[in-house]
Structure 1
Amino acid sequence: MTITTLLAGRAVHGGARKKIVYPYSDSSSRFLQYARDLSINPYERINDLSEFRSELLAAASAFRTRLSAGQNGILATVAQETGSPIHYHIEDMRTSQNFLDKLSYLEKLLPKKYISDPKGNVLLILSANEPVIVTTILVFSSLFAGNTVFVKPSAKTPAYGYFFVKELGKFPFLKQRIHYLLTDKKETGRLIKTKSFDFVLSFGSRATSKKLAILCAQSEVEFLQESEGNDWVYIDKTCGSLDEISKMIVESFTRHNGQMCNSVRGVMVHPSLYDELVERLKNRISDLSIASPQLLDSRIGALILGTSARAKALTEDAVQRAENIWNFSINENVLTPTLILNPDDDALIISESVFAPILWVKKVKNYFEALSFYHKKNKHGLGFSIFSGDENVSTYLANRIQAGRININKYPLRNGLWDPLGGVRLSGYGGPGYWVEKLSNRKYVKR
């Protein structure tokens, strides 16, 4: 099978063909074909947005039915492409279906004191991880805002986006509103330079988004990035059950192989709790099944292609800078959940975001020391979690930590379906917001 660009439901052939390689099994009969010299029509405004949204709600319901009917094959392919266990994709599918069931709620998320206008032609540059939930929520939010959407997936995980656009393109009113782009850097750059898009939203790496930001600025095309985080946890003596906290932390740094933008990367804990916490973390990690991502009981699969070398390098640097490295092993793209215990301040993994199931744990005397260390070493700003029974501590840190989301005695990764998302500093622009709002322009009318 060859996956191609889809413009208005029509397959566009031509350009280089590339084999899709699965990170766990390394075998695939699938190819993708990059398109060249594409012609993108200018944005056409929807005449009656209310009517369009009514049709979109009906389409979402019908698409949900198709999604349910074909989910076994879809999820198996997604697990193969990402290397992430199918267990997590099943959960993502359920969340996506719940979102589709409640799509009309997006209307309530739009600001009431402004008129919300479409951005126009929107290019969504998606990351390789979590394709089901990210594609579903972003595309429907963008369509609900009245945009024409161009979905550009990661070349490593293209299948779900292709299925998604192909199915939605079967609805006549959406045929000209949703497209699927497989383009290389050169063609993507050409399309941006020629103003084929009015807005570019990138979920790529920080390095990729930096290049895109410069290109969009030069081309006078609006750009927004949502980049990786470096989320930490602070635990003090009044935290409550370490057993429950250890469960949340392990799940929050191993889910999807630790390859989520808001995966937990580090833990700062009071010295009196350090030994017990580490032991509980080890016990829970030891219970995790490392196996093929196709197996339902698997919890650790393989890293997305191209990410294991950096994870290995950061861990090897920490070997020289930590009291101990526990459970580290790597076999091609399979990396075992690893603890880096009490690293010194100069360990690179503290400041850098590693897309892998690796967690450092460090002793800190109190929340003043934790805050100072955070400001000194963390340049990202997606999320931060606090486990403390002292309301004064939680409030003090929440007011001073520079991050888009602060979790207080909450599961770090359990975002509500309608929670605003987004980061600051190296993790994004402006902090959390609703996608339907970020994908709209505001208009203020004064009479």
Structure 2
Amino acid sequence: MNRTRGLIINGREIPASGGRTAPDVGPWTGETCAVVAAGTVEDITRAVDAAEAAFEGWAATPPTRRRAIFLRAAEIMASRTQEIVELMAAEVGAVTPWAAFNAKLATDILLEAAAATTQPTGQMLATDHQGAYSMQVRVPVGVVAAISPWNAPVILGVRAVALPLALGNTVVMKPSEDAPIACGLLISDVLHEAGLPAGVLNVVTNDRADAAAVVSALIGDPRVRMVNFTGSTETGRAVGVLAAQHLKPAVLELGGKNALVVLEDADLDYAVDAATFGAFMNAGQICMCVDRVIVHRAVAEEFLAKFAQRVDALPSGDPADPATAVGPVVTAQAAQRVAALIADAVAKGATLLAGTGTVEAPGTLIKPAVLTGVTRDMDIFSREIFGPATVVHVVDDADQAVQLANDTPYGLTAGVITEDLAAGLDIARRIRTGIIHVNDQSIADEPQAPFGGVKNSGYGRFGGQAGVEAFTDTRWITVQAKGHAHYPI
């Protein structure tokens, strides 16, 4: 797979203003799977020009017409599942089940966006003014900046644009340098094939060295009215600060240090299945992954033995092999970072129950690792792993489990495994996260649900009514329908 792609501005694919390009390098083969245009600040201005010019017409487009575009886009997305599987394996090292799930959930997000086009957008308000009507309505904000990540590229790329577009906004999208096609250009292709008008969605890819300048220009353009970003907490903090400096609202979905609590009455085979999936799907590179398993001491020994055996048996390697469960991480630098977290913990006294913690050929592969005996002085205790490793902590009761789960600056998601639903719901009430699942692990996403975190995991919500509110403004409208208003002077 090797292709050359340009920017998408005003419905046309064009080269970057300076003529530069950037390689899109796959993590497993180390080969260039695509060459993309390296957009500049000038290209951001051109993209915002197009989005601003298209806004009034798109916002006025009848909702049933918008709905038809998104329904057609969902059909197209589903039909391209095999292409997405191959693309994600090449571009980000994704294994087949994860890539296929990206296609499925992206399709569902497009269907949910279609439904959002005809949802109620306002309400009548009480008023003391005779002969007047008072209304609260939701209106599109205008041009939205969407910055999408590489790890679930099709899901999160579609999520970054679908609901904003369905609600009548226009979008300028900056996809990740590690997945410019899967989380940007592919999505543009699908939506434009479905009939999206020119200028409504514009995509500016870039060289990694230009990322800060491109993002600053995008957020700083006065015609851009809000920002949505999914990615690391470090980068999200910078995006949030920049948006705030320009008095622009932002939806930020950031990192997590997610816990899976296993209570003493849990079905341990099910808990092992949940922990394995939650920790190692997509090589642990999901913001919702289980970084910490918090298990009751009464069942810890049995759980650890079963968990280590299960993790050691996970097939790892070539993401294009359908039998592979855990593929490579996205870059050699990412692999070295995860290996350093494991090495630091082991050097300070942690025990490695599964995996080796070392980087293997081709320089991006780490076999799944499980650690115990992790203490506060170890980097892995507090830092998001975002790779194929997890930590098991042993506690004496549910109160200790909740306290440990909350002992983090993050607050994205969590899970609790128990046969006692009342106990599970009590823990769900007490753990401070934006999302929690009783009798499931921490990874889950549905397009109609309000998705997002608290604390250092970000703010604002994608999906559901909360998402509609995030990507629209509230407007108060009054109509003096009968008689004239009275003025005292």
Q: TM-score, normalised by structure 2?
A: 0.84
Query: Is residue 240 of structure 2 the alignment partner of residue 210 of structure 1?
Result: no
Q: Secondary structure at the match of 1:379?
A: coil
Counterpart contact for 2:58–2:168, Cα < 8 Å: no
Alpha-carbon contact 1:192-1:216 (below 8 Å) kept? yes
SS in 2 for 1:169: helix
Q: Please give the secondary structure, in 2, of the residue aligned with 1:199.
A: strand
Partners of 2:80 and 2:350 in 1: CA distance:
49
1:175 maps to 2:203: no
**1:55 paired to 2:65:** yes
- Contact (CA 8 Å) 2:283, 2:387: kept in 1 or not? yes
Answer yes or no: is the 8 Å Cα contact 1:231–1:265 preserved in 2: yes
- 2:444 is aligned with 1:441: no
Alpha-carbon shift at residue 261 of structure 1 (Å): 0.7
| Alpha-carbon contact 1:109-1:436 (below 8 Å) kept | no
* In structure 1, distance between residues paired with 2:470 and 2:220: 22
> Does the CA-based 8 Å contact 2:77-2:106 persist in structure 1?
no
- Offset of residue 103 of structure 1: 4.1
Instruction: Indicate if the aligned counterparts of 2:55 and 2:143 stay in contact, CA closer than 8 A.
Output: no
1:148 maps to which residue? 170
Residue 225 (structure 1) aligns with? 252
State yes or no: 1:247 paired with 2:273: yes
The amino acid of 1:175's aligned partner reads A
1:362 counterpart residue number: 393
Taking the aligned partners of 2:59 and 2:431, their CA distance within structure 1 comes to 40
Shift of 1:333: 0.7
* CA 1:25–1:281: 2 relative to 1, 3 Å: same
TM superposition shift of 1:298:
1.3
Name the counterpart of 1:350.
Answer: 381
Asked if structure 2 preserves the Cα contact closer than 8 Å seen for 1:404 and 1:431, the reply is no
* Pair 1:428 & 2:458 matched: yes
Q: Which residue of 1 aligns with 2:76?
A: 66
State the SS of the aligned residue for 2:145.
strand
Structure-2 change in CA distance of 1:13 and 1:414 (3 Å)? closer
Go from structure 1 to structure 2 and tell me whether the alpha carbon gap of 1:330 and 1:202 turns closer, same or farther (over 3 Å shift).
same
- Structure 2, unpaired ranges of 5+: 124-135, 480-489
- Cα shift at 1:13: 2.5
Shift of the 173–167 alpha-carbon distance from structure 1 to 2, 3 Å rule, reads: closer
Does residue 95 of structure 1 match 2:98? no
- Return the alpha-carbon distance in structure 2 between the equivalents of residues 204 and 445 of structure 1: 37
Larger Rg: 2
1:258 partnered with 2:284: yes
Counterpart CA distance in 1 for 2:401 and 2:216 is 42
Aligned counterparts, 1:7-406, within 5 A: 7-10=9-12, 11-15=14-18, 16-36=20-40, 37-38=42-43, 39=46, 40-41=48-49, 42=52, 45-46=55-56, 51-106=61-116, 113=123, 115-160=137-182, 161-170=184-193, 173-183=196-206, 184=210, 185-239=212-266, 241-305=267-331, 306-325=333-352, 326-328=354-356, 329-331=358-360, 332-375=363-406, 377-391=407-421, 393-406=423-436
Within 1, Cα distance between the matches of 2:22 and 2:326?
27
Cα distance in structure 2, aligned partners of 1:82 and 1:22: 6
Aligned counterparts of 2:342 and 2:284: Cα–Cα separation in 1: 14
Query: 1:48 and 1:66 mapped to 2: Cα distance?
Result: 21
After superposition, the C-alpha distances for 1:126-166 in whole angstroms (9 at most, x for unaligned) are 11111111222332211111110112110111112212213
Output the CA distance in 2 between the equivalents of 1:25 and 1:193. 38
Paired with 2:447 and 2:365, the residues of 1 have a C-alpha distance of 31
1:446 deviates by 7.6
Residue range with higher mean Cα deviation, 431-440 or 149-158: 431-440
- Which range moved further: 118-127 or 222-231? 222-231
Counterpart AA for 1:136:
V
What code does the residue aligned with 1:400 have?
R
Letter in 2 for 1:35: G
- Shift in Å at residue 29 of structure 1? 4.5
Give the secondary structure class of the aligned counterpart of 2:373. strand
Secondary structure of the structure 2 residue equivalent to 1:174: coil
Deviation at 1:264, TM superposition (A): 0.7
Residues 85, 299 of structure 1: 8 Å contact kept: yes
Report the Cα distance in structure 1 between the residues aligned to 2:475 and 2:78, rounded to whole angstroms: 38
Question: Would the alpha carbon gap of residues 283 and 446 (structure 1) be closer, same or farther in structure 2, given more than 3 Å must change?
Answer: farther
For residue 14 of structure 1, report the CA deviation from its aligned partner.
Answer: 3.3
Deviation sequence 1:19-38 (CA, Å, 0-9, x none): 11111110125212212213
Percent of aligned pairs with the same amino acid: 21
Opposite residue 18 of structure 1, the aligned amino acid is A
The verdict on how the C-alpha distance between 1:208 and 1:101 changes in structure 2, with shifts beyond 3 A counting, is closer
2: distance between equivalents of 1:430 and 1:221? 13
SS at match of 1:346: coil
Are the structure 2 counterparts of residues 84 and 170 from structure 1 closer, same or farther at C-alpha, using a change threshold of 3 Å? closer
What is the deviation of 1:360?
Answer: 0.4
Gaps of 5+ in 1: none
Kept in 2, the 8 Å contact 1:423–1:432? The answer is no
What is the rounded CA distance, in whole Å, between the counterparts of 2:118 and 2:289 in structure 1?
Answer: 29
The Cα shift of 1:219 comes to 2.6
- Cα distance between partner residues in 2 of 1:321 and 1:128: 33
Contact 2:82 2:100 in 1 (8 A): no
- CA distance in 2 between counterparts of 1:253 and 1:228 reads 14
Instruction: Indicate how the Cα distance of structure 1 residues 345 and 431 shifts in structure 2: closer, same or farther if over 3 A, else same.
Output: farther
Q: In the comparison of the two structures, how many residue pairs are matched?
A: 445
In structure 2, relative to structure 1, the CA distance for the partners of 1:61 and 1:374 (3 Å cut) is: closer
Counterpart AA for 1:56: R
For 2:66 and 2:462, how far apart are their aligned partners in 1?
25
Q: Could you say if the C-alpha distance between residues 132 and 110 of structure 1 is closer, same or farther in structure 2, counting changes exceeding 3 Å?
A: farther
Letter in 2 for 1:292: D
8 A Cα contact 2:70 2:114, kept in partner: no
